[in-house]
Chains A and B, each alone.
Chain A
Amino acid sequence: MADRHLHPANGNSAPSQFGGAAPFFVGLVVALILGWWAFPQMLFSQKHQPVRFSHKVHMEGAGMECKSCHFLREDGSYAGLPTTESCAECHSEPMGEDPEEARFIEEYVNTGKEVEWLVYQKQPDNVFFSHAAHSVDSCNNCHEFTETELCSQCHPNVAETDEAPVYYENKLTKYSKQTMKMWRCERCHANPEHFGTTRSSNACYVCHK
């Protein structure tokens, strides 16, 4: 202790007002870079859809609508994604030249295997989401949403894309980066203006199962 007191520090380091704080700021900047740039890179892994699917080709080329594949079933449940069987209604044989289509037919249609599509908004098992309740009819009592606008409140709009967006999977939770958290549901459900006009109460069992 005594020695240190007698020989304060390295003689070369000029005691300056800011120089003393420099390591702090270096640390701060390192942490910020780490936290805002490196951490998200580390936390999320990038995944691509197992089949390169072009919404654009189907919408513009084949003249299909969103509803052709994403529709409410008769019992009120929602057919989020088409089954291989329904794809095979058209694609039992290749319709174009695209090698990806040929691969899809060979790997899925011919084997009857379902495509493990990556769902950007996949919710946990304990969440019940009713597509039937979140309808244009219901929301447009006050809003003036087009169907696309309404769906895009939660889902990425892929209708005009040729290639599906990259899927970022949280390595820890295994959910998609875009999966909505409860606070985003509460944008509407906890909004007092919605009470009375819609059935969007914020009661637990309205959304949980």
Chain B
Amino acid sequence: MAVDRRGFLKFVAGVSAGVMVTPIPWKLLDDASIWTQNWPWIPSNVDGASTYVSTVSKLCPSCVGMKVRLVGDRPVRVLPDDNHPLSKGGISSLAVAEAQMLHSPARVKRPLKRAADGAYVAISWEEADALLAEKLAAAKGSLACVSGDETGSINDVLSAMTGKAGSSNFYLMPSEAQPAAKAVAAMGGEGQLGYDIENSDYVLAIGANILESWGTVIRNRAAFKATRPHGEEPAATFVFAGPVQNNTAAGADQWVPIKAGTEGAFALGIAHLLIKAGATADAADFSAFARLAGTFTPAKVAELTGVNEDQLKDVAKALLKARRPLVITGSEFGQGTGAASVLAGVAVNMLLGGLNRKGGLKLLPVAGPVVDGAMTRAEMLGKDFVAYMSRINAGKDKAPAAMVFYEANPAYALPQAAKMAEVLAKVPFKATFTTFLDETAMLCDLVLPVPMGLERLDDVATPYGSGQALYCLARPVAPMPAHVKPAGDYIIALAGKLGMDLGVGTWEEVLQAKARAMGADWDSLMDGNVHVSSSTVNAQPAFGAGMLQKGIATKAAEGDYAIAPVHKLNVGTAKTAIPPYNNKTIRRWELQGKELYVAMNGATARKLGVMKHDKIVVSNKSGSISARVNIFEGVMNDTVAVLMGLGHTAFDQFSKGKGENVMQLLTVGFESGTGLSVWNMAGATISKA
């Protein structure tokens, strides 16, 4: 039967009518709309049972305690841990996205070796083992080792290995613990300075960024929280003295602007007023100290520090009135300060009767080394890596044949960063144990990937700033990536291969020995509990007046403008760079695209003849950075506030090439008396670009 045109049209009409009463158009329309809700490139939720594991962060310098939420076996959230003394229901902006950082694009996934053409090639662990053993054996004691972990027993292992290799060059990355240790030594005391913020009713932070980055900051902030119920008068007063109205100043009841690097002079100014008001202390060199403090009259202190005299007097009065005052000296950016400013701070505490008193300054016991040939903590903190690098640069010390880094990023984090990278280049063989492909890894011949804190067994022993001695374990909550090895066991095995006997077989043995040394119960630690000890070291320390007098002399900074680095934990550390989830917390006028913004007050801007968004160049003999201007009135006159943690040249798309690294502008000097390297008083000239 032939179909004519009319018949065909009738057929089509029939089909059309029929289709309308079938599910085809309606179901397809509905399904198509559902189809558009689930694109394959949009990740979907994966369900499972939630479990929570208590541990401690090895990533955040505050050593914050945390509860990791796992769904099935995946860590998805890092939550505060109410029961951990370093969390007390709070979490840091850095640790809170630690679970996400397990999958950071900057992670090193397998051992890398630098080929002759400078490119990195993945190698097997066997190759890496052989290369490292060969180079370290060949170095024959011409070895230096740098650790970026301030609180872990890994330092026992590393320092023992370095020592047994015949070298004394084991260093920690610079921090506030080193000048504090020098200060305790100068006072003839022992133990580690501890700060009982919880029980104080008047906390004066001179330079120390106690509500943002200094010490055990989340625990500091828990103490801050406890003393100020919502909408009520606070039960404790917090005062911050520093060049920038930073996050600590934002929380403090009072901000006392003082120039960067003049914390010691400010503290001595307070001491002067306290002594005048009759304060005294039972120390051998009190009279020597009183003589020194006598020269720090309010007028002189105002000149040195830029402080308002009345404000200085008010603070001294308030300290005298407080029942349990506490003075904390430190650096706004967590490093580069000298022992003198710590000594001056301790002196004020002593005048206030605050030594080993509730709500005062404590001397905390420190556990001894648990590995054969390891350095004591005091010895470790006595070593000055920046000074060592400067000696190599000046030709006073020979560059070692091999340098090993452990979770340290000196190529980015040291002052005069560019210079330090040059010095590092003089070292023929460099290897790094690192989680992320950082600036230092990019200088190394061998890059060895280590697991993150969430993936390994590790420990934290009394971080600097803590008010009591404590010990806890970081427990693995996530499976380790396939080609990553924990450093503890690896280095113990390496030492064995090199013919050194560290007296321990495994990393876990080291931790168990440390737990015993701290007086902690291993099983309880493994359950996620924290060992806390309220004991203090009985001592009758002196003021260290002699050392203080030498160290306190402030030198004139270079240029007409002072540089005040601003440290914020949310921007990450040298070890983490800017974590992917933290990028958004950088403020609009701190960074735009690749351009750094620096802050100055209106008067300074007028003096320079610049307006907001204008381009400037900040330079000194160490380096120069270009930036745009942001006007922020919470900065002292003739000072530029520069956000730290930017200007990375390694890591990933979330960090690389954003802004500039302020460390390039920080010039290293040496404190007279202690010889400690210091870089908290950088000056610069500013020109319009």
Answer whether A and B touch in the complex at a CB cut-off of 8 Å: yes
Query: Which A residues have a C-beta under 8 Å from some C-beta of B?
Result: 9-10, 13, 20-32, 34-36, 39-40, 43, 73, 75, 77, 79-80, 124-126, 170, 172-175
- A39 near B22 (CB under 8 angstroms)? yes
Cβ-closest chain B residue relative to A125? B45
> Which bucket holds chain B's interface residue count?
20 to 34
Consensus secondary structure, chain A interface:
helix
Name the B residues within 8 Å of A170 (CB-CB): 31
Bound-state CA distance A26–B21 (Å) is 15
B2-10, B480-488, B568-576: which lies at the interface: B2-10
Contact of A77 among B3, B7, B8, B50 (CB under 8 A): B50
- A27 near B15 (CB under 8 angstroms)? yes
Contact of B15 among A22, A31, A36, A77 (CB under 8 A): A31
Instruction: Looking at the assembled complex, report how far the CB atom of A126 sits from the nearest CB atom of chain B, in whole angstroms.
Output: 8
Q: A31-B14, A170-B31 are in contact. Are A23 and B22 (CB under 8 A)?
A: no
Name the B residues within 8 Å of A172 (CB-CB): 28, 31-32, 34-35
Cβ-closest chain B residue relative to A73? B49
Contact of B3 among A20, A23, A39, A43 (CB under 8 A): A23
Chain B 1-43 near chain A by CB (<8 Å), digits 1 or 0: 0111011101111111111011110011001101101100000
Bound-state CA distance A170–B50 (Å) is 31
Bound-state CA distance A39–B37 (Å) is 22
Residues 25 to 76 of chain B near chain A (Cβ within 8 Å): 27-28, 31-32, 34-35, 37-38, 44-45, 47, 49-50
Name the A residues within 8 Å of B6 (CB-CB): 9
- B14 near A23 (CB under 8 angstroms)? yes
Could you list 14 examples of A-B contacts with CB < 8 Å? A9-B6, A23-B3, A23-B7, A23-B8, A26-B14, A28-B17, A29-B18, A34-B18, A73-B49, A124-B34, A124-B38, A172-B31, A172-B35, A173-B34
Contact of B10 among A21, A29, A39, A125 (CB under 8 A): A21
- B18 near A35 (CB under 8 angstroms)? yes
Q: A34-B22, A43-B27, A125-B45 are in contact. Are A174 and B14 (CB under 8 A)?
A: no
Bound-state CA distance A170–B30 (Å) is 12
- B49 near A173 (CB under 8 angstroms)? no
- B24 near A75 (CB under 8 angstroms)? no
Instruction: Looking at the assembled complex, report how far the CB atom of B392 sits from the nearest CB atom of chain A, in whole angstroms.
Output: 52
Bound-state CA distance A160–B108 (Å) is 52
Instruction: Looking at the assembled complex, report how far the CB atom of A31 sits from the nearest CB atom of chain B, in whole angstroms.
Output: 3
Name the A residues within 8 Å of B49 (CB-CB): 73, 77, 79
Bound-state CA distance A13–B44 (Å) is 62
- B38 near A23 (CB under 8 angstroms)? no
Bound-state CA distance A6–B69 (Å) is 86
Instruction: Looking at the assembled complex, report how far the CB atom of B482 sits from the nearest CB atom of chain A, in whole angstroms.
Output: 16
Name the B residues within 8 Å of A39 (CB-CB): 22-24, 27
Cβ-closest chain A residue relative to B12? A27
Bound-state CA distance A91–B53 (Å) is 29
- A31 near B17 (CB under 8 angstroms)? yes
Instruction: Looking at the assembled complex, report how far the CB atom of A38 sits from the nearest CB atom of chain B, in whole angstroms.
Output: 10
- B4 near A9 (CB under 8 angstroms)? yes
- A30 near B15 (CB under 8 angstroms)? yes
Instruction: Looking at the assembled complex, report how far the CB atom of B49 sits from the nearest CB atom of chain A, in whole angstroms.
Output: 6
Bound-state CA distance A173–B37 (Å) is 9
- A34 near B24 (CB under 8 angstroms)? yes
- B22 near A27 (CB under 8 angstroms)? no
Bound-state CA distance A40–B23 (Å) is 9
Cβ-closest chain B residue relative to A40? B23
Interface centre among A21, A31, A40, A43 (most CB of B within 10 A): A31
- A28 near B27 (CB under 8 angstroms)? no
Name the B residues within 8 Å of A25 (CB-CB): 14
Residues 521 to 564 of chain B near chain A (Cβ within 8 Å): none
Name the A residues within 8 Å of B32 (CB-CB): 172
- B18 near A174 (CB under 8 angstroms)? no
Bound-state CA distance A61–B14 (Å) is 56
Q: Nearest 4 A-B pairs (CB), nearest first?
A: A35-B22, A27-B14, A31-B18, A24-B14
Interface centre among A22, A79, A172 (most CB of B within 10 A): A172
Instruction: Looking at the assembled complex, report how far the CB atom of B44 sits from the nearest CB atom of chain A, in whole angstroms.
Output: 5
Chain B 350-368 near chain A by CB (<8 Å), digits 1 or 0: 0000000000000000000
Instruction: Looking at the assembled complex, report how far the CB atom of B532 sits from the nearest CB atom of chain A, in whole angstroms.
Output: 29
Q: A35-B18, A124-B37 are in contact. Are A26 and B31 (CB under 8 A)?
A: no
Instruction: Looking at the assembled complex, report how far the CB atom of B22 sits from the nearest CB atom of chain A, in whole angstroms.
Output: 2
Name the B residues within 8 Å of A80 (CB-CB): 47
Bound-state CA distance A39–B2 (Å) is 28
Bound-state CA distance A28–B13 (Å) is 8
Name the B residues within 8 Å of A35 (CB-CB): 18-19, 21-24
- A10 near B2 (CB under 8 angstroms)? yes
- A28 near B14 (CB under 8 angstroms)? yes
- B13 near A24 (CB under 8 angstroms)? yes
Contact of B35 among A21, A30, A34, A173 (CB under 8 A): A173
Instruction: Looking at the assembled complex, report how far the CB atom of B34 sits from the nearest CB atom of chain A, in whole angstroms.
Output: 4
- A36 near B22 (CB under 8 angstroms)? yes
